[in-house]
Amino acid sequence: MIAIVGPYYAVQQAIMASYIARDQLIASSLAQEGAEYIYFVRDSNYLGGDSWLTGLSTCQSSYGCTVDPSQNTIAACASSGCKPLSLSSSNLYTQNTSYPATRFTRTVKVQTVSSTEVRVNVVVTWNSEHHAYTVDVQETLYNWL
């Protein structure tokens, strides 16, 4: 019995580790995408002649916001938290709730440091095998014009 259970357990643990690694990679990419979208908004504001933080006030609340690059939207999170990301039919992560929800939730917060600097914090959370996981990306964004 031990000769059968031992290798089975080892294979099961290896498979679970690979699932966790896959999810960490997805979460890291989602967090980086959130930060890059904030950069995109800042740069678009420059090109459009607007103030560099136009459109990001929603993300400056204590609850944070969700960003959806596939729909070019920013939405406030509720006090109960942000809604989970969905997976579109073209395999893009989106906030569009007409698609099936995933286990990943992305929250973006923008904190003012000075008149020319903000701190962008993107947190992606998910649950896997009854454990909660988090990827946290912090970036500093400057008003460089």
CA–CA dist 102, 86 (Å, integer): 5
What one-letter code names the amino acid at 86?
S
Cβ-based burial of 99 (10 A; exposed 0-12, middle 13-18, buried ≥19):
middle
Task: Write down the pLDDT at residue 5.
Answer: 75
pLDDT at 9: 82
Task: Give bridge partners of residue 107 from the DSSP assignment.
Answer: 123
Per run of 10 residues, the mean pLDDT along the chain (length 145 residues) is 77 87 96 97 96 95 96 95 96 96 98 97 93 96 90
* Total-model pTM: 0.90
